[in-house]
Structure 1
Amino acid sequence: MELKDIDLNLLVVFNQLLAERKVSKVAENLGLGQPAVSNALARLRRQFDDPLFLRTASGMQPTPFAEQLAESVGYALGMIHGAVNARNAFDPATAQRSFTVGMTDIGEIYFLPQLMQRIGELAPGVAISTVRNTAVNLKDAMEAGQVDLAIGLLPQLKAGFFQRRLFEQDYVVLLRQGHRLARRRPLRVTDFFAAEHVAIVSAGTGHGQVDEILDRHTPQRQVKLQVPHFVAIGHILQSSDLIATVPERLAARMVAPFGLVARPHPVKLPRIAINLFWHAKYHKDPANQWLRTLVFDLHSDYAGQASG
């Protein structure tokens, strides 16, 4: 007998008869009439060339051949049911899985401490890995399911992606508390360009446009140090007279630990829109939905609005 010759609905009836042993009860469970169940049993008997179930005083009793089929059919139907309902099965309290999130070092500093604390409370079996948004082909990696979510200023993620706004922020000037400019309120454009700078070169992210704007000014910044990431900025500014242009929420996390101050930026710079991105392919995936809802609830200025 070939699989193409078997009607899956008949096996569902077979499995129900094994459990209930009454045609009337099977009909009730499946929302069928009793004649329909009897007809299904007749078709099964013809296909397998066996009575399968015999009427007795205690109900429909399976034949030895039916009992032989029982375990395999039950297992197969269970596997199919689990597969087609897999997207409804994510339970963070019991889940054992890892998510990969694309973010910059700013994202790791700003988002991860609170996110990991909350995951520890809600989903002890869940682990997080991060990848740099610029270190992988983020579009392809997210489409392939290698990266579950991405967070940041990512103008390259357009067609095929969903996104939700987390917040908007300005750039500020960050410097140590003892810096000669720390007492200047407001910080003037001439003060800014007269100071020595550490510049963060973050090619491939939206932050790169800030360098272009600042370096169009005359005079240009006196850049004494260039670094490829933000993670060391606090240590550098803490022990030098350099100043840096950084996003305000990153500055807020660095001020107290490193003895720094943040000042409104004297140069007009665009506000940064930080979004949460996911691929349309995983829009309905419950695990992805859970993680992005968690990130949104923890870090969005718009938390409380309906989530996608």
Structure 2
Amino acid sequence: MELHDIDLNLLVVFNELLRQRRVSAVAETLGISQPGISNALNRLRRLLGDELFLRTSKGMVPTPFAETLAEPIAFALSAIHDTLNAKPTFDPASSTRTFTLAMTDIGEIYFLPALMKRLGQIAPNVLISTAHDASETLQDEMEAGHVDLAIGFIPDLKTGIFQRRLFRQRYVCLFRKGHPLGKTGMTLAAFREAEHVSIVAEGTGHGIVDEVIARAGITRNLRLRVPHFVAVGHILQTTDLVAVVPQAFATGTLEPFGLESAPCPVKIPDILINVLWHAKNHREPGNQWLRQLIFDEFSV
């Protein structure tokens, strides 16, 4: 006999008859009519080729064959019940799990110092790995379980994705201390005349900067294009170049690199920084814990 040949509910009836020995009591416990219990027993008798239970003045008495089945069936049903009702948990204090977070280099600069400090306090053995996935591959990586969470401005990440807002972010102009713009101010005319570094940041939403500036009819005096933000602080501190960057990046680089920031004279829409996760991890305890931690630490 194969498992697909038998209805699990028949074994539930069998187990209850072993325990209570009365059809009426089993019917009341399982919420099934007495004829329904009798029908289930008859089906099981035909499947197993044994009477299983005999009617006596003391109730339904199991046959020797039924008694041999009693313990393994009770054990199997108990194991199934416990498995289906088990609630997975996550203990950050003892976990050695690795979480992979997708973020840009801005995200690494802004989020990781505070996040790692907090993890050191409450989850000392948890390992964080970051990935710089472009939005066109990030969807697949999250669906496959290779990336646990994504953090940042990722407007193209939608299908099967949950998200929670952390904060709203504006763009500012960034330049070195002592730059002539620090005295004259960042006017639209000064913005046009300044020499600029442009950050391409492919696969993220930061491409809107160049698009918005172009739509405003402004042609920047571009001297340098770089694919990411990580070198921008080093570049600005020793040149007169200007960069248009998110406020979070500016905040993290002002002091270390001796820079200043000013409102951008071109109106660039604010961006929303979110923590995002795939639907498959929506109720996974470890994922729930980490995204709540990130929300508590960084949401405004």
TM-score interval, smaller chain: 0.7 to 0.9
Say which SS state the counterpart of residue 207 (structure 1) adopts: helix
- Alignment partners' CA distance in 2, 1:177 and 1:67: 86
Report if the CA contact (8 A) 2:15-2:70 is conserved. Answer: no
Say which SS state the counterpart of residue 267 (structure 1) adopts: coil
Instruction: For residue 280 of structure 1, report the CA deviation from its aligned partner.
Output: 2.0
The residue correspondences of 1:148-297 to structure 2 (distance < 5 A) are: 148-184=148-184, 186-216=185-215, 217-223=217-223, 225-297=224-296
* Alignment-derived partner of residue 114 in structure 2: 114
- 1:183 partner letter: K
Say which SS state the counterpart of residue 242 (structure 1) adopts: coil
Provide the aligned C-alpha RMSD in A: 4.0
Instruction: For residue 157 of structure 1, report the CA deviation from its aligned partner.
Output: 1.5
- Alignment partners' CA distance in 2, 1:46 and 1:113: 68
* Alignment-derived partner of residue 59 in structure 1: none
Say which SS state the counterpart of residue 192 (structure 2) adopts: helix
Report if the CA contact (8 A) 1:15-1:74 is conserved. Answer: no
Report if the CA contact (8 A) 1:115-1:295 is conserved. Answer: yes
- Alignment partners' CA distance in 2, 1:117 and 1:74: 47
- Alignment partners' CA distance in 2, 1:95 and 1:72: 35
Question: Where in structure 1 are there 5+ consecutive unaligned residues?
Answer: 24-29, 32-39, 51-62, 302-308
Report if the CA contact (8 A) 1:193-1:222 is conserved. Answer: no
- Alignment partners' CA distance in 1, 2:119 and 2:45: 53
- Alignment partners' CA distance in 2, 1:148 and 1:160: 13
Q: Does 1:143 align with 2:181?
A: no
What TM-score, normalized to structure 2? 0.75
Q: Does 1:104 align with 2:104?
A: yes
Question: Where in structure 2 are there 5+ consecutive unaligned residues?
Answer: 22-29, 32-39, 51-63
Show CA shifts across 1:28-86 (max 9, x none). Answer: xx99xxxxxxxx9xx99999999xxxxxxxxxxxx9xx89997998589548734x356
Show CA shifts across 1:281-307 (max 9, x none). Answer: 322222221111111111111xxxxxx
Say which SS state the counterpart of residue 95 (structure 1) adopts: coil
- Alignment partners' CA distance in 2, 1:261 and 1:77: 66
Report if the CA contact (8 A) 2:198-2:222 is conserved. Answer: no
Report if the CA contact (8 A) 1:92-1:122 is conserved. Answer: no
- 1:104 partner letter: T
- 1:208 partner letter: G
Report if the CA contact (8 A) 2:173-2:242 is conserved. Answer: yes
Q: Assess, with a 3 A threshold, how the Cα gap between structure 1 residues 85 and 157 changes in structure 2: closer, same or farther.
A: farther
- Alignment partners' CA distance in 2, 1:196 and 1:241: 7
Report if the CA contact (8 A) 1:133-1:150 is conserved. Answer: no
- 1:81 partner letter: D
- Alignment partners' CA distance in 2, 1:144 and 1:80: 29
Instruction: For residue 176 of structure 1, report the CA deviation from its aligned partner.
Output: 1.0
Structure with max Cα Rg: 2
Q: Assess, with a 3 A threshold, how the Cα gap between structure 1 residues 299 and 183 changes in structure 2: closer, same or farther.
A: same
Report if the CA contact (8 A) 1:92-1:126 is conserved. Answer: no
Number of residue pairs aligned between Structure 1 and Structure 2: 292
Range with bigger deviation, 130-139 or 270-279: 130-139
What TM-score, normalized to structure 1? 0.73
* Alignment-derived partner of residue 304 in structure 1: none
Q: Assess, with a 3 A threshold, how the Cα gap between structure 1 residues 187 and 149 changes in structure 2: closer, same or farther.
A: same
Report if the CA contact (8 A) 2:12-2:77 is conserved. Answer: no
Range with bigger deviation, 167-176 or 94-103: 94-103
Report if the CA contact (8 A) 2:136-2:203 is conserved. Answer: no
- 1:177 partner letter: K
The residue correspondences of 1:60-75 to structure 2 (distance < 5 A) are: none
Q: Which has the higher helix share?
A: 2
Report if the CA contact (8 A) 1:90-1:286 is conserved. Answer: yes
Say which SS state the counterpart of residue 183 (structure 1) adopts: helix
- Alignment partners' CA distance in 2, 1:257 and 1:76: 63
- 1:190 partner letter: A
Instruction: For residue 13 of structure 1, report the CA deviation from its aligned partner.
Output: 10
